[in-house]
Structure 1
């Protein structure tokens, strides 16, 4: 279903894929700002990290404007960037914390922690200057009891491939730079150190290889001694060998009550509370829905408290169910839950402010944005919803070109089983396709592979659909958002379940008459790039593909994996035979269609030689192939000019080799080996 537009009856007829559109690749890259992490400063104004492709991918801490509809103000001074490299994926969401008008942040270039007063342009270092950024910090909080900063510390000094991760304390009370003091150690990974504001104790999450945090983890509480050391530790959740669970996101209320999210028994992440006296955990509200998500980066905040300083404490939270996010208010005393009406269909982070709360979200009509929400006195009805930041402030000028997502359920190769996707039909208020033609289809495969496509307004999608392409975002088995059972479909089956589901989705759209079966293309990033390459190697469904920093050689990926994912590939692939049988690089002879590849040369997650290998093999076989490598780009492109170039070249490649139409606009195609 598409929006009605004036003059729809006067549409020009032109081949699908050739339509003119104002949504250019430059417009897409300019709208590529992202938000990473939310926190509220002492003056009640929101602060967050903004990643800016037009500034070379800079990550800058900004503060909400003092006046409604005012412009947010940069907090981070020139020469600094707020981004941690912990667990390789790093990012800005776990790279800072705010208390009052003071911020502590991880600086990208040297990975040191700095402390800064908001409004001051001279941050001072808190941690030593180690050579080559060998120590990283993330997910820190201020300790109100001992005037220090407690943080996750990842130390690469003794072994770069097997760093030591701990929970450490950093002094902030004097101007001397000191070695951090280790508080908790001995396990492979830690996250969410959270300190009770009312008593001297701390909660945290920990887990060990071969698990990822969403496979199996533990929630602990430790009590501080008079000297600030952690002692008398108690395992709150995850210690029972008869239960498989992944507790996450612990938070203390102002009264010292510990809340957290776990997926015990039901397989869905729900909100729980720890009863300290009986040392049992109590489920506050049962729902077959996901109140959290896999922890790929630090700093997630899926819920927070409203009414912190009175007896009417309530929890504002979000959850995913059937491809949509919902926001509601949970009363932990009565267990009652009130769903709020808001314009977002996807919500990723929530933090509480003064008489309001802030949410990061999006919808089919709104790009990723931050909204300020006010409730009535009973905290059950939304009285005000106002956007304070948007990833694309000018997006409304393209509204008449937007294709709206349709949530679809399609059959998999297993009888009676289904998977999910968002389908976008081609749409442009000025053009229509010929009556005897079906549109080409681009299948997008997300990364992870435990990430999730969310069906929100994304100009990357609209770039294709406004030119006459159909596009489908597939949430294959293994995706998050649908519970543990759905997420674990891919365990031991990576390269099979995801491949089958992507092909089944494309076939379903052909059989239901929506797309042209002779013009099916597939694209994916990272793990999605692997799925793309595997589809091309082991199936004959698609006519061309695009892999962006994707995986071609599973064995070399495992050998070179960083600690965070050291065992992840084993869990996904299985035994050695499967490593060999599912690696696209081992089956180049089975490739039959064109391929374009993109990779950043500073990628430490998927080494660039993965792409170089598959490029050479496909070239030597004689198939049309093109490779673009970017200097200075990591895992995921951050620079606007590279985002623009990638999008343009991918579309032109598909148009020349599969679409048999000319793309509107002045785009000079790169050379395609074995074709030009």
Structure 2
């Protein structure tokens, strides 16, 4: 059947907003306990539940109605539950208390101290307790107090303080004998990808920690995932060479040994607890994931000979690696398949899908494949991204017409976008949009030097990369320079607002809970990110001039193109008043502007119905601005001044 000729943007797509959100789940938090496999699923209704697959390969939900497994430590969570000893311990979102549950039974309240939050728990079986990161909001101080504490498994325990004094803690890990504890700590103004410290201490008879040893790390060295091998050696990831690589501690002489030095990233930015990129199949066999130039790989490392052997797998994205003898479990996806929880057999080297985020319903003939893109940017640097051309077997563009381009800017800004199949991108490409997903300066996956290009340059280098990526594609003659749009959430929303304010390239944009006032963010945000801007912009209030100069809200007279703002009204990270201020200012200036809000949503929407509405609102907005006909019915969005 011949393809029909139609204007880009007006193509009839086989993908609906329901396909993007309502029919999908989020997967993370893989844990193993005996012959049971656990993971957590975020559901379209906004709840996160724990799922267990037992030895009979049957999966069942463990979390009953009324519970939502999600911690608010650092606000971004992760490490929401522990599966150990045949039971589970989890944080409940509503009250932030921990609950204990045996499969098949109702959860029982485990902690009872109001104002406390918990994350990243492990079981200390020898002492009959769990060890957990605790965030104390009861002290009356301007910021909560973080510490490592132990809580007896019998419950009714206020907890024993183990380690305190640092601003942040993560990843407590016991050695196989249960005699020593390793953990990470760091202080303001560092973020964990700037610099952390790896400590080890032995238990004393009373269950407290004795003499502490600093193994590695510092203000300019980021340590990721300390983990003990089955034979009691401490392994970890450090970026001391400029790349997150694997190391182990030689306790006898206090030295640190590099295991497979290479220009690759074995670590990730620790926005959440419980992240993992390696594990042990045995004392002499380590399985690890790493990324190079935006693509992930899985490999085996012989810990005796240091022979490093990558596996030949179709995956482009790998995360949350958990290893047991003979098997590896991880979250993976490829350019043609969305992410899934998979099981990899180390003997047969075969992959088995355990659970997909959603069923694959798109015929490959509609699928736009990520094309890695390097392009020149300011000051002679090279930036990275992935380009997705429009693709729909049923349609082609009109003669002499080039497609509109949607530039996507990821959040963080210390984050990364990856070349994995996403319905959220195919939604656009099957409708006739080209998409450029940018890994701007500051993104991870390209080494510490690329990450630190954003130091002191937030709102400048990242925005320049988004602008120069669009310019590059226009110069190549593959997109329409008169129909350029930019979209992003959080830090990506800030890039959108900056690009529209300080450059005259884009014709429209969408900001999802984006920062418009850096000064307000520096004053009002939560503890974990309260000093993040010291490195990204400058010390506040000493460099207030920079905060004002880079805040779009203070330069609203320069913004001269249409904008849609999308915001959760319960956002503790980017308060909704920032989006409201931008909306009011643009409306007063007579520019086309729309403002879509969602009650009960925070920083990143969890309910499918709200995500669906936001996506359709953005597409509808562009249809009005770029003046193309919609191929389907869609709820209109009120647009002021249009």
Q: 2:379 aligns with which of 414, 426, 444?
A: 414
Q: CA deviation at 1:354?
A: 4.7
CA displacement, residues 138-188 of structure 1 (integer Å, 9 cap, x when unaligned): 01100122110000000001237400000000110x2x5120111000000
4+ residue runs over 6 A deviation: none
Shift of 1:248: 1.6
Deviation track 1:17-52 (CA, whole Å, cap 9, x = no partner) reads: 000012011111124411121101222x32111001
1:388 alignment counterpart: 354
Tell me what 2:37 maps to: 46
CA distance in 2, matches of 1:28, 1:561: 30
Equivalent pair of 1:22/1:398 in contact (CA under 8 Å): no
Secondary structure of residue in 2 paired with 1:587:
helix
Say if 2:7 is the partner of 1:18: no
Within the candidate set 613, 626, 632, 1:665 is matched to 632
Q: Identify unmatched segments of 5+ residues in structure 2.
A: none
Alignment of 1:617-656 (within 5 A): 617-656=585-624
- The answer to whether residue 325 in structure 2 is matched with residue 336 in structure 1 is no
Match of 2:249 in 1: 274
CA–CA distance in 2 between the matches of 1:361 and 1:147?
35
Aligned 1:242-391 pairs, distance under 5 A: 244-264=220-240, 266-308=241-283, 313-376=284-347, 382-391=348-357
Give distance in 2, aligned partners of 1:454 and 1:197.
Answer: 35
Residue 610 (structure 1) aligned with residue 578 (structure 2): yes
Measure the CA separation in 2 of the matches of 1:154 and 1:277: 35
Q: Deviations over 1:77-117 (max 9, x none)?
A: 22211110000111xx3111111421111111111111111
| Alpha-carbon distance in 1 for matches of 2:266, 2:141 | 35
Structure 2 residue aligned with 1:536: 500
Q: In the alignment, is the contact (CA less than 8 A) between 1:31 and 1:459 conserved in 2?
A: no
Question: Which whole-Å CA distance do the structure 2 matches of 1:124 and 1:227 have between them?
Answer: 28
Cα pair 1:125 1:177 within 8 Å, conserved: no
Are the counterparts in 1 of residues 620 and 637 from structure 2 also a CA contact under 8 Å?
Answer: no
Normalising to structure 1: TM-score of the pair?
A: 0.93
SS at match of 2:149: strand
What residue is the counterpart of 2:109 in the other structure?
Answer: 125
1:220 aligned to 188, 199, 203, which one? 199
* CA displacement, residues 290-309 of structure 1 (integer Å, 9 cap, x when unaligned): 0011100100011000025x
Report the equivalent of 1:4.
Answer: none
Give how far 1:199 is off: 4.3
2:213 aligned partner: 234
Q: CA deviation at 1:258?
A: 0.6
RMSD over aligned Cα atoms? 1.3
SS of residue matched to 2:270: coil
> Matches of 1:257 and 1:67 in 2, distance apart?
34
**Aligned-partner Cα distance in 2 for 1:260–1:632:** 39
Separation (CA, whole Å) in 1 of partners of 2:545 and 2:601: 33
For 2:165 and 2:76, how far apart are their aligned partners in 1? 22
Shift of 1:198: 1.4
The equivalent of 1:77 in structure 2 is 64
CA distance, structure 2, for counterparts of residue 496 and residue 35 of structure 1: 34
Determine the C-alpha separation between the residues in 2 that align with 1:95 and 1:337: 33
TM-score of the superposition, structure 2-length normalised?
Answer: 0.98
Between the aligned partners of 1:590 and 1:397, the Cα distance in structure 2 is: 42
Equivalent pairs counted in the alignment come to: 638
Q: Distance in 2 between matches of 1:533 and 1:76?
A: 40
